[in-house]
Structure 1
Amino acid sequence: MRDKLVGAILDGTKTSTTSMVMEYEVEDEAFPRTGTRQVVVDSFNRAVAVIETMDVQRVRLGAVPWEHARDEGEGYSSVSEWRVGHEHFWHSAEMRICLGCHIHGERWHSCGPGAVPSRYCALEVSVAMMQTDRTVKDSQPASKRRVYQWAG
């Protein structure tokens, strides 16, 4: 799955992503900001691209529009199908372990929890960066720089 999503970033199909507010709270991480650059890594943990955040919002899940869902490049045919797929992922055992929580009976419907939809553009990556696996320098300290690694 990771390489499929990374490929979609590289070919321009994937230009948006959505996180949960809870992810940032649990990881004590700052919300993304417009202009922030982040490294995208493949399944071999190699830096393959740098993305720059162009727009970020904090909304309830039900307020994420179809255009944003479509631009995630995952092939959903409607925003409701996208929501179901994302709720399924966010309720997965893998995600619960990642967040260090066990949610029993709670469902994240359109009224909550908060979603963080963001849009980005892929920037060209130099051969040197891909060979040395260096991270991009930006205004955030390295410890707070979000590196996208999609599980697969």
Structure 2
Amino acid sequence: MTWPRVDGLRSIEFGSPGAVRTELVGLVLAGAKTATAGLLEHDYAAEGEEVEHVGERLAVLDDSGARVATVRVTEVRVVPFAAVDDAFARDEGEGYEGHEDWARSHERFWAAHAGVAVRADTPVVCLRFVLETGA
């Protein structure tokens, strides 16, 4: 299963469908959310997708699957779960003070929505991006 393509771009969907996705897309559109994380094995390998690359443009999809914006990837790092730093956690724009808040939230999310129990060495894809205007 591959990610949807929209207007020739790979798509990116934030969080789980419903209120969470609506909130996260709102943070992206407001410029508050400039980073996101995914599990290398679950979100990429199992989906048959390659990790994004710097400069890649992604179609941001809302809860209905419609393209609402475009982001351009500015940084890609694959790090162990325990190595996600405080700055990255804050750049996710969801009010995390640092790694500990981020880790607790993401452990719960990935357990509930992906059925994955993360460990300290679980590979996490950390993306930073900028919102493109007029796209």
TM-score by length of 2: 0.79
Say whether residues 1:14 and 2:23 are aligned partners: no
Q: Which residue identity is paired with 1:12?
A: G
The alignment-based identity, stated in percent, is 32
> Which residue does the alignment assign to 2:118?
108
Match for 2:132 among 112, 123, 132?
123
CA–CA distance in structure 2, aligned partners of residues 35 and 116 of structure 1: 16
CA drift of 1:125 comes to 3.3
Whole-angstrom distance in 2 between the partners of 1:118 and 1:77: 18
How many angstroms apart in 2 are the aligned matches of 1:78 and 1:54? Answer: 21
List alignment gaps of at least 5 residues for structure 1: 97-102, 127-152
For the residues of structure 2 that align with 1:108 and 1:2, how far apart are their CA atoms? 22
Tell me, yes or no, if structure 1 residue 82 matches structure 2 residue 102.
Answer: yes
Q: Secondary structure at the match of 1:3?
A: helix
Counterpart position of 1:5? 24
- Structure 2 CA distance for partners of 1:70 and 1:9, relative to 1, 3 Å: same
1-side partners of 2:134 and 2:109: how far apart? 30
5+ residue gaps, structure 2, are 1-19
Provide the C-alpha distance between the structure 2 equivalents of 1:48 and 1:84, rounded to a whole number of angstroms: 29
Runs of 4+ in 1 over 6 A off after TM superposition: none
Matched residue type, 2:44 = Y
- The amino acid of 2:118's aligned partner reads W
Between the aligned partners of 1:29 and 1:52, the Cα distance in structure 2 is 17
Highest relative contact order (Cα 8 Å, sep 6+), 1 or 2?
Answer: 1
Number of residue pairs aligned between Structure 1 and Structure 2: 115
CA RMSD, aligned part only?
Answer: 1.3
Partner of 1:147: none
SS in 2 for 1:28: coil
Amino acid at match of 2:40: V
Correspondences of 1:92-107 after superposition (within 5 Å): 92=112, 94-96=113-115, 107=117
2:62 matched residue in structure 1: 42
Answer yes or no: is the 8 Å Cα contact 2:89–2:97 preserved in 1: no
- 1:141 match: none
